[in-house]
Amino acid sequence: MSAAEQGRTVIRPYGDTTGDGRVQVSFTLPLPSGTEEERALAEGAAAQLAAKMGLEPAMVVHAKAIGPDFTFFIVYGTAAHLVDLADVKVVRREFPLLPAAEVNRRIRAALGRELVVVGATVGVDAHTVGIDAILNVKGHAGEKGLESYAEIRVVNLGAQVPVADLVARASAEHADAVLASQVITQRDAHVLAARQISEAFRAAHGTARPLLVVGGPRFDPAMADDLGVDRVFGRGTTPHEVASYLAHALAPEPPGTAA
């Protein structure tokens, strides 16, 4: 029986037995481990770091050199910290998941034309798997992409698109929504790209800008306001969810109309 089913709000991690607080963490340290002496020092440093993270006792269960100057570790230990479920904040989906026919119907009724979506990955990001999964007909996870919706016109610009070009093409296409997928996260490149997109569209269009949606595996859905966009989608997002959001945001049902 789960903690929620038992009515508990304070929980500890589970490792070997319920409530033992055992966790497993991994990290890399800029230390070599090619010789026996280097390995001993590196593992000692990893154990010390784990202890300072609150894992006590902590055991280094795996260490592997990554090139001549770095070592990757897996550490297993007991965390003293507790989690209070009452304090957990989550972003809940505020719109229903709609069948494709309903998405098309709402767009047709509200706009009287196709809903135009322009998508891309920007800057140095060369990954198109995410944006293609949402936009292309083949879709993702058994769901067809936005190109399969009769009332949605998709313009997929692909990868490494300069932000200025994204703004210009969205303007030329009279886009209702712009979807940007970012996978590269080193030095928060995805966050920087999202803010650049927001700033560029605000400068070009003011409050009349298209709906801005960003997504990728390292985005937190709670970041939308901070990034200056309308919606953030994280890992596991499917075309069905994005299509339902577009209908919710751009083609809502009139008040009092049954879904």
Report residue 52 as tokens.
Answer: 């300072």
For residue 250, give the H/E element and its range: helix 239-250
How much of the chain is in helix, strand and coil states, percent to nearest 5?
A: 40, 25, 40
Kindly report the number of other CB atoms within 10 A of residue 6's CB atom: 9
3-state secondary structure 181-220: ECCCCHHHHHHHHHHHHHHHHHHHHHHHCCEEEEECCCCC
Contacts of 94 (CB under 8 A, 6+ apart): 248
Q: What is the C-alpha radius of gyration for the chain, rounded to an integer number of angstroms?
A: 23
And the tokens for 87?
């304090």
Positions marked catalytic: 138
Angle at 63 between CA 60 and CA 69, to 5 degrees: 130
- Residue 141: closest CA among 233, 244, 237, 216: 237
Contacts of 127 (CB under 8 A, 6+ apart): 121, 159, 181, 183, 184
